[in-house]
Structure 1
Amino acid sequence: MKPPLSPPTAESDRSRPDSLSGNGRCGASSSALSILVIDDNPRIAESLGIAIELAGHRLDIASGPEEGFSRLAAQRYDAILLDLNYAAGRTDGAEGLAMLARLLADDPAACIIVITAHSGIRLAVAAMQAGARDFVMKPWRNAELIAKIEVAAARPAPRADRPHAYGGEVPGGEPARLLGDSPAIEQVRALIRRVGPTRAGIVVTGPSGAGRTLIAQAVHAASGDVDRPMARLDLRDTAAWDRLAGEEAGTWLLRHPDRLDEVAQARLLDRLPMAARFIAIADDPGGITPALARRIATVEIAAPSLVQRQADIPLLARHFARIAAERHGRPAPRFTPAAEALLISAPWPDETRGLSAAIERALLLGDGGVIEAALLAPAAPVVAAAAPRSSFDLDETERGMIEAALIEHHHNVTHAAQALGLSRGALYRRMARHGL
């Protein structure tokens, strides 16, 4: 059981941050700080919120690690207050320490302050040894709490013994943080941590819409050029190549080098500044000539498709739903069990980009803060029109939609047929064909 609180609980009128200055990174705090609290106890979070906002700082609250990573992927924070226990009855701090490790692996300069009870002093010490900037004991004194946050946020983090990491701050850009826990996306993270700090040319491949640009941003965030914006150039616009002459250093994002013929690639190679680093995005790395590849494609990072990271789809869907809800002033929606089943079973056109668009559309068309399978189903027919698939894939898509509709309507065939736009007879025939 969590210890009693100080100060007493009250409803928090949380303001949204206007200007964010770091993804949990330590830096000077001459103005209001943006702070993320990750704690599953709403009373704790609200009490922290009262103290933080009375001190003139800005606050967001995440109810657990998943929402915490989601918020960190969407915006930047000067400090992160991290609880160490989340599951009911757990007091060993394993969940919080695991999140602390991943946060610091993403960004070694992250400014993290752990929250623990007096009985958890050993956990606090372990967290400090693992890289936390400070700790707060429950119950706390407001003045001490605010002082700890402000001092930790103002103190520069040591960098000498730590490489840059992909979750770091990129001036003028969005946080470069990859969501998901699947082996496929963790392999990408590990590769970014290995090659990001080098000067090697990187080519990012994989299906369009799978997050290739985000991976390129993550590589840049892990590099020594992180303090300089990454210049971008679509190589199909040869008139824009003149920009290369004015930049001798820094990092360039080059799009579509594989779509140039051999002569154009040779001309491009002659124009590349010797001191610059290049990150390319290509559909076919084999289409890059060997001479050009030595400069811009020494290492390939393949963005995994949603099929390769299927376990991440529900997490990504909740992240996209939260972002869309905030954008349109709606409450964060929940997914029905049938909708969750459809999310995993249906192929999504345009990969994660297409999934995000489908979630946003479902949010806008739905009522009562609930996303049903029928609201997501319209995305499926687009797959056949936009990217022809084998008959097996189409059969699996149809079966998944029928199963989702039947679950959604408690196996009422009439209602399921109406949701699918079919007659009862047509639905029965399809159910027989699929063995349902």
Structure 2
Amino acid sequence: MSSTWDILLIEDDPAVARTTEILFRLAGHRLDIATDPGTAYSLLARRHYDAILLDMNFTPGRSNGEEGLACIARIMADHPATPVIVITAHSGIRIAVTAMQAGARDFVMKPWRKDDLLAKCAAVIAPPGERRASSRRPSGVPMLLGDSRAMAEVRALIHRVGPTVANICITGRSGSGRSLAAGAVHAASGNTDISPSRIDLRDSEQWRLLDAAHGTIMLRYPDRLDTISQARLLDRLLPGLRCISVAESVEPLSPALRRRLCTLEIAMPPLAARREDAVPLARHFAQIAGETYGRASVRLTPAAEAIVTATDWPDEVRGLAAAIERAVLLSDDGVIDAAAIRPYTTTPLPSGSDALPFRLDDAERLMIEAALKEHRHNISRAAAALGISRGTLYRRMAQHGL
């Protein structure tokens, strides 16, 4: 196996990032740069890294290390085996000690010497024979992205109950990430070496898999079964078999089947209930699509991000991902503007109507402000990006005091 390291650097200072990238490249290693924790979580969802170098502050004027400590907590929960080396200033020795107590393996002080940094990485990275040869994140170890309080609660619950043998039912709207959460529960169990049987209960042919099931089993759509089929399912679930189920609701389940499948219910929040997660998710999907379709760098404009936030996506996170993928595929320069996303956001406008296809609230104001800023207050271009007429834009600007 290759002795090349795959390193993730989380650093907002471009000069430090560039210097570190050159150092590792000249030493024969690969280094990805994330300028903020959100970008880092997106990269960690797609790739495996041998070590993470983490700056402790990202907001100008802040030096207490709280941002870095929060990032360590998230990494330790989702990637406990990945070593973290924190980077701090000479005055930050107390922060470095706290980071070590939180799970970091080592620390390095700025300005660091190149030999010291490489030596610290070598000390925490496993030998080549014990590391994965691929830089891609291994399948079956999913990550739930989003910094909203709702998603933080879901992740905390998964990390708490995943290592147990409790039967878990993941509920919520289709496309909200239920299957990903079910996979995260299994990943947290520590039994990832054994892939669970996955059975779609709507398919009668897949019921035969119940006979050979052992350990953990994943059941989809138990709430779609009639009363008789639910009773048959209950009879065929052997004692000691851990069930992780995916359903829209537990209400259609019989009391007996609910007791068997739902020791605990984890409800996936709809995207409309965690709008602050929409843009980080869109950026994540844009990077995945960019890699898939050979776009070296993909970014969303401010107006496009405003539309992403304001839209009630009909197919939840899955619908957002599909819209971003189409926009990336059809883009020529890797820039996703409002016009590229708008066709996939809501029902098309009625003929002759010039109303915005969004609610007239703060989200609409945000979109208009973003479009005006993006196009340097050129009304014609901003209106075109939003898919409305100049007159409508003027009226909306007046309404919102812009």
Pairwise same-fold verdict (TM > 0.5): yes
The letter for the 2-side match of 1:82 is L
Identity of aligned residues (%): 52
Q: Among residues 72, 76, 81, which one is paired with 1:100 in the alignment?
A: 72
Measured after TM superposition, the shift of residue 75 of structure 1 is: 1.9
Q: Among residues 126, 130, 139, which one is paired with 1:173 in the alignment?
A: 139
Measured after TM superposition, the shift of residue 86 of structure 1 is: 2.1
Measured after TM superposition, the shift of residue 414 of structure 1 is: 5.8
Measured after TM superposition, the shift of residue 334 of structure 1 is: 3.5
TM-superposition CA deviations, 1:377-408 (whole Å, max 9, x none): 101344899xxxxxxx9772899779847945
Q: Counterparts of 2:228 and 2:183 in 1: how far apart (Å)?
A: 29
Q: After superposing the two structures, state which structure 1 stretch, 66-75 or 55-64, moved more.
A: 55-64
1:287 equivalent to 2:252? Answer: yes
Give the 3-state SS of the residue equivalent to 1:286 in structure 2: coil
Q: Report what 2:302 is aligned to.
A: 337
Q: Report what 1:199 is aligned to.
A: 165
Measured after TM superposition, the shift of residue 43 of structure 1 is: 2.9
Q: Counterparts of 2:393 and 2:92 in 1: how far apart (Å)?
A: 60
Which ranges of structure 1 fall in alignment gaps of 5 or more residues? 1-28, 156-169, 386-392
CA contact (8 A) 2:271 2:316 kept: yes
Q: Report what 2:279 is aligned to.
A: 314
Computed over aligned residues only, the root mean square deviation of the Cα atoms, in angstroms, reads 3.5
1:62 equivalent to 2:25? Answer: no
Q: Report what 1:238 is aligned to.
A: 204
TM-superposition CA deviations, 1:234-254 (whole Å, max 9, x none): 1112222222322322x2111
Q: Among residues 225, 242, 251, which one is paired with 1:277 in the alignment?
A: 242
Measured after TM superposition, the shift of residue 85 of structure 1 is: 2.2
TM-superposition CA deviations, 1:126-153 (whole Å, max 9, x none): 2112211111233334443333223212
Q: Counterparts of 1:400 and 1:311 in 2: how far apart (Å)?
A: 12
Q: Report what 1:127 is aligned to.
A: 99
Q: Counterparts of 2:326 and 2:30 in 1: how far apart (Å)?
A: 30
Q: Among residues 182, 189, 193, which one is paired with 1:216 in the alignment?
A: 182
Matches within 5 A, 1:14-163: 31-154=3-126
Measured after TM superposition, the shift of residue 96 of structure 1 is: 1.3
CA contact (8 A) 1:358 1:376 kept: yes
Q: Among residues 320, 323, 327, which one is paired with 2:292 in the alignment?
A: 327
Q: Counterparts of 1:89 and 1:428 in 2: how far apart (Å)?
A: 38
Measured after TM superposition, the shift of residue 205 of structure 1 is: 0.9
Q: Counterparts of 2:20 and 2:335 in 1: how far apart (Å)?
A: 30
CA contact (8 A) 1:317 1:355 kept: yes
Q: After superposing the two structures, state which structure 1 stretch, 215-224 or 84-93, moved more.
A: 84-93
Closer/same/farther in 2, CA of residues 47 and 377 from structure 1, 3 Å limit: same
TM-score, length of structure 2 as denominator length: 0.83
Q: Counterparts of 1:265 and 1:97 in 2: how far apart (Å)?
A: 47
1:247 equivalent to 2:213? Answer: yes
Give the 3-state SS of the residue equivalent to 1:132 in structure 2: coil
Closer/same/farther in 2, CA of residues 31 and 215 from structure 1, 3 Å limit: same
Q: Counterparts of 2:227 and 2:287 in 1: how far apart (Å)?
A: 45
Q: Counterparts of 1:94 and 1:402 in 2: how far apart (Å)?
A: 32
Q: After superposing the two structures, state which structure 1 stretch, 29-38 or 81-90, moved more.
A: 29-38
Q: Report what 2:133 is aligned to.
A: none
CA contact (8 A) 1:76 1:175 kept: no
Measured after TM superposition, the shift of residue 428 of structure 1 is: 8.4
TM-score, length of structure 1 as denominator length: 0.77
Q: After superposing the two structures, state which structure 1 stretch, 400-409 or 60-69, moved more.
A: 400-409
CA contact (8 A) 2:37 2:71 kept: yes
Closer/same/farther in 2, CA of residues 419 and 120 from structure 1, 3 Å limit: closer
Q: Counterparts of 1:369 and 1:171 in 2: how far apart (Å)?
A: 24
The letter for the 2-side match of 1:105 is A
Q: Report what 1:380 is aligned to.
A: 345
The letter for the 2-side match of 1:366 is S
Give the 3-state SS of the residue equivalent to 2:86 in structure 1: strand
Q: After superposing the two structures, state which structure 1 stretch, 342-351 or 102-111, moved more.
A: 102-111
Measured after TM superposition, the shift of residue 106 of structure 1 is: 3.2
Q: Counterparts of 1:282 and 1:239 in 2: how far apart (Å)?
A: 20
Measured after TM superposition, the shift of residue 413 of structure 1 is: 6.6
CA contact (8 A) 2:57 2:65 kept: yes
Which ranges of structure 2 fall in alignment gaps of 5 or more residues? 128-135, 351-355
Give the 3-state SS of the residue equivalent to 2:219 in structure 1: strand
The letter for the 1-side match of 2:189 is S
CA contact (8 A) 2:163 2:188 kept: yes
Q: Counterparts of 2:295 and 2:333 in 1: how far apart (Å)?
A: 10
Measured after TM superposition, the shift of residue 260 of structure 1 is: 1.4
Between the two proteins, the alignment pairs up a number of residues equal to 386
CA contact (8 A) 2:337 2:385 kept: no
Q: Counterparts of 2:276 and 2:379 in 1: how far apart (Å)?
A: 30
Q: Counterparts of 1:319 and 1:339 in 2: how far apart (Å)?
A: 14
Closer/same/farther in 2, CA of residues 273 and 430 from structure 1, 3 Å limit: farther
Closer/same/farther in 2, CA of residues 59 and 93 from structure 1, 3 Å limit: same
Measured after TM superposition, the shift of residue 107 of structure 1 is: 3.8
